[in-house]
Structure formats: C-alpha cells, structure tokens
Structure 1
C-alpha cells in the first residue's frame, strides 16, 4: 500500500482514507463498528465535518482513548469568527479530543486571507497558536476559488472533488498542489455514485503521490471492499486504463456532479439528484429511483421558474434548467417502459 504525505503537514498515511459523511446515516453502534474495523484494517486518516450532523460524535465514541493512533480532519461552515469558534469547540468536544490534525474552511466561496476584513483566517491562526488545530486546510467546489487558495500559500491542504471522470481543469488543480507542496484530499472519488467500479477508482488515485482519497463509507460491505486493497492494491494497468477511457467517453459533455451548490431551488426541485437522474438509474441502478417519492420529486421539474439561479451558482457552468428537462423527459420514458435501463 502506497503511503502519502500531505504536503507540508508531514501527515503520512496509507493512500486509502475514510470519508465520514455517510456514517451519519447509520446508528451509533453500526458507525462505531465500521470505524473501528476501518482502523483495524489499516486506515489512519478520518475526515468529518461539523455539518455532517452526528458524524463527529460517532468518531469520538469509536476512537476515544486512541487519539495518538489516528489523524482526524474536520471542517467549519462558520462564516463569522463567533461561529468559527463555537463550531471548533463543539467539534473538539464531540470528537473527545483537544486538537484536530487538519481544520478546514468548508465549501468556501472565497479565499480567506489575513487582513481581508472577515477575521476568519485570523481565527485559524489563533486556534493553531492555542494548540486546538495543527494544520490549516480548505475545501471547495469552485475551481477559481480553489486556484486562489493554492496560489495564496496560506493553506496546507485542499479538498476538492476528484475521480477518473474529472476534467483537465481538476487535473490542473492536482498539479498545482504538487507544485506548491500542498496536500490534495480527494472527495467524491466515486463521482457521487456515478462510478461503480472501486478497483478502477482506486487504481486511478495511485498515480498521484500527494493525493489522498477519502472514500465515503456507510456499510461494512463497502468498507471491506476498500480494505481488501490494503494488501493487494489494484494497479493502473492497460485493462483498467481502457475501462476508464470507455467510462470517460460515455460521460463526456455536460453532466451534473451532484455537488449541491445550486441548492436550494425556489421551486423545491432537488436539483443535485434530478439533474443527473438519467445517469443514476443506469449507473447506480436501484428501484428506489423509480418509487413514488422520486416520481414526485422529478415532477417538480414541471414547476421550474426558469429563474436561472442554479445556473449562476453552478461551479461547472452547466445549463441546469436544460439538464433538468432532459432528465425529466428521459425519466418519463423509463417509467412508461419506452426505455430500458
């Protein structure tokens, strides 16, 4: 198993890390069992966030008394110094620790800097001086903001969506981080469910020696699949490369990544799922996508206000109303049996 060092942090861990957003969807006992098994299987880096409901609390229960054996990264959605400090103290209390290895500004719309008038970066510096955090990171879905954060030299890690269907623009971010000796934490390594081949997803990441993928895990069966690669990591061989090229050719063009930056929708449309429903029913097949609840959700597309707020907020510059309509028309054909999936 390849070991990854996250830039200047000095944090060195197996290139196989745990994304703890999904454990908020399972009960405490199940989450603790999964998290402890992840540690037993060799995972050492665990990424969570104050915004992930009780995810931090579950990590705190799972790893109490073994803080020095793992690395924990969390995030703040705070946009004022007051909210920042409250969220940090809450995270530390729930995680049952007195420090975080990496603390990240979560889903930022700007690159916080010292003296910018917000006081936010100063909060990070103060928390670091107090020993509450060890390294400063940032997460984003916006390419221009991510580039600015890299070039600023103020952050030690960047967390950004990255997978084998990422475009040249995302690959440029990875290269920039390498040039700036900055760790890259890859979220959405399965493209929000569009990728269903874990071997290919894992093998793709192995070509980057500063990229740490955090796999979102909520089932023991999913965890065991990732852990199986600890001793036998899949190689990026000709077979997998050919498979990835085929996947990319099928997904070329405009498609919704499901990041949710467009939300909320004034018409109540669940854009981050409805705008990619055609892909989800084919690539992540589940009868649940065709149940009454999702039929009602898709029908809301008929009430689109064409206000274009979603287009303005989309970091990928998609024509979201057009995507919604295309997906809705396809969905209706699937329900009518005119299209087989």
Structure 2
C-alpha cells in the first residue's frame, strides 16, 4: 500500500485530530475532509513532472534510518561559489548553502528532519554547477544557482520548513484563503498533489473568489482525468479573474492561459465544445455580485473565430484578456 508524508500540523489545521508517526496510508485519504484527495492520490504517478527526478540518499536524524528521497529543484546560493566551479573554495560550505522544493518526510517515522546525506552531496552539486557553466540553462535540470524566496520573503531550506512556517501563520489566521493557497503551492511544487488539492480546497472554502486556488485546482484535476470538476473550477476562475487583485496582471494572464488550455482539452475529451464557455447564468450571477450588469468575459462569445492550439499557450492570450477585461502588457 502506497503512503504519503503528511504533517500532523496539517491534519490538525483541517480538523483531523489524529496522532501520526508514520506516512499516511492510501486508504486514509478517502476519510479526509477533501472531495478530491483520494482520486488525485490514485493518479499521482501519472502527473507530469516539472523537472527530471532528483533522488538522493538521506539519513533521518530522528530515527537514524536511511532512504532515498526526491529533492526536487535544488537552488544553490550563488554567493557561496566563485565563477570557477572547480575552485577550492566551492566545497567549503557548499553542501549547506542550498534549498530544495521536494516535499518529503521520513518514510519510517514521518519526521521532517534533521537530515544527513549518505553520499557525497557536495560532489553532486559541484558536478551539476560545472555542467551548467559549460552548457548554460538546461530545461528540466534539477539544479540551478540562485535563491528560493517564499511569498513573504523567507528563504526556507526544506519544503517542510516552509510548510511549518505557513501552517504557523494559518494557525493565527485560519480563514486566510491566500495563505492556504500558498500552502497548496508548496505541496504542488513538492510533488504531493493530493496534499495540494486539500490546501486549495481549504482556500476556496474560505474565499470562493480565490482565483489562484481555482486555477491550480482545475489544472490538478485535469491531470487526474477528473474533467467535470476541472471544467467547474475553470469556469469559476475565469469569471472571478477580472476582479482578482492578488497577482500582477501579466502573471494572472499567464495562469488564465494555462487553465483555458486545460478547459479546451477537457471540453474536447467530453466531445462538447459548449463546455469551453462558462454558463451564461453563472456569468450573470458573478457580475451582479460585483455590481455589474454584464460580465467582461461575455465578449468571448462575440469573437468571430477562435484560433486555439492546445500545444501553444499563446493562442489563448486573446480569450484570457477578454476574461480579464483589460489589456495585458507584453512580456519583456
């Protein structure tokens, strides 16, 4: 039976008061307060990966047992190494000056560290930096120089550090939908989509207008082949987007293009192109909630032709702009 690492702090935050000293077994996901966690968990190994696997052997500092974990994207702080990655100064401190996005906890005791590397991790980083210095940026490569900064400027080393930080903030303001969205992003980037959907669901329960959570949820459900619910959340994301102010316009435009792509694919897979357009009644309801007589996105139906290409996100730009009700500045 497959298991997933879950923080006891997360379980408490969603109202599950259960002592847990091991990863959560699959059967438990159906009992969590989530409409989608169990189905997403069943499909988790089919989800697309943002970068190539990055497994490393670590020893848990709590129980002492060793296992292999995917560290995800590793950011090596550029200030700790000179331009020559083979210099003698590189090894000194390099193994400590990094951050990673992969979400994992001990496979045996569920602890979130401390961790000790079993292999020579510094040598791995030196080899990776040398390759980057020779070849330049490599798509999907799991190491890059730089810093990983959270939404509030913090720079956690491990994904579980950021999880603990955000859950601490949520404990103070449990109804902050934006914090729940940021927690969902930690899990999504960390490779645990079933935990991501839980956080996004918590987010939209607190604020149904949380567009980022709607989009992320729709895209995850598309990857889980749950096309009906993908379409539902995509429609709501599109209709609330014109009134969302938590993101720069360009960033929101890019997110809308991604969800429009998955909305189109879902509509085609269900052999019903009318599903690509949110219901008129829903658009009117949301417009009225914002004090408008008509929704800006209604103009999509006025387009003479839709030249959309599932393989080209740029082809969705015009439709996204109509839902936003504004012109989007060109990306630099």
Q: TM-score, normalised by structure 2?
A: 0.27
